[in-house]
A = this chain, B = another copy of it.
């Protein structure tokens, strides 16, 4: 017995089966029009030699990679994992793979990933991109989630902000505060949520003074600090709309620490509806983003593009939805002191 080569190639298998390289290649790629006999024989040779295709060579030769790339700032954000969950179900159903790359929000890294995937993947999913990278991709199709581009999937954050305000207003609140998200130049989610919130209050004739708006930076700590400041005001708010669930949880903890009962003395509305929202006590009323559906839609659009099919629509905008749980209730009646 001679030693097998370290890396088995198509050529090796061909020799082993007594056919040409192309026949082996055709068997591997399930090309139609081959005699079952040779197909069988080649298959055996493949198994016996332990052959595995060389992905790089396949790509270089113009073959399909059956691979979709994902570029995302981080993967430990629930926002991202839920989207990926939706996308991967669609992609795997179609028999393709998902390769996920993180950028740590660094535009330079994002660009590197883009150049890599451009040649490696059949298409690319861009989640919350930090910069405009569309030109980099050349002929490789790209779908963007929560960002700009020729094909996008997004959620109506302004409407989400409005929903939060309307819910609190309908409960009878009039002194309502906002814990703002992180404001950055490249993203507008925090700004959109605040704008929608403000608009709805204005429409109802309810005032939102500046001292009732605090930065929460989307973090638990930020939410807790902001809520502490709000609750120790001479005239504290009876309700708070936090720009995401994490900062809402922080607000929940601040209330607990200060002996303010939720929802009896304070109503809190979050945003996102990630896991912790339903696990928290009291369970959080929040604005739900259909993250999984967004991931699915993005994947479907991308699959269309990779197949040369024009997608039904280039831009999909999903509505946000109110999820009422246990952290909101009507405000306490003002105690009227009888003279």
Seen from chain A, the residues whose Cβ lies within 8 Å of a Cβ on chain B are 6-7, 50, 52-60, 67, 75-76, 78, 81-82, 84-85, 88, 92, 97-102, 104, 109, 112-113, 115-116, 118-120, 135-136, 138-139, 220, 249, 253, 256, 275-276, 279-281
Contact = CB atoms under 8 A, between A and B. Distances in A.
B92 A52 contact: no
B99 A6 contact: no
A100 B116 contact: no
Given A59-B56, A60-B56, A102 B88 contact: yes
Given A6-B139, A55-B119, 12 more contacts: A7-B139, A53-B115, A53-B119, A55-B120, A56-B56, A67-B116, A76-B78, A92-B109, A99-B101, A120-B120, A275-B276, A276-B279
Contact of A52 (B54, B76, B119, B281): B119
Contacts of A281: 253, 256, 280-281
17 contacts: A7-B138, A7-B139, A50-B135, A53-B115, A55-B56, A56-B58, A57-B119, A60-B60, A76-B85, A81-B81, A88-B102, A92-B109, A99-B100, A253-B281, A256-B281, A276-B279, A281-B281
Given A53-B115, A276-B279, A100 B100 contact: yes
Contacts of A58: 56
A55 B56 CA distance: 8
A134 to B, nearest CB: 13
A329 to B, nearest CB: 18
Copies of this protein in the assembly total 2
A279 B81 contact: no
Give the 9 A-B residue pairs with the shortest CB-CB distance, closest first: A56-B59, A76-B81, A100-B100, A52-B115, A56-B56, A56-B60, A54-B119, A55-B119, A55-B120
A287 B139 CA distance: 50
Given A76-B82, A97-B113, A249 B279 contact: yes
Contacts of A53: 115, 119
Contacts of A100: 75, 99-102
Contacts of A76: 78, 81-82, 84-85
A109 B120 CA distance: 19
A25 to B, nearest CB: 16
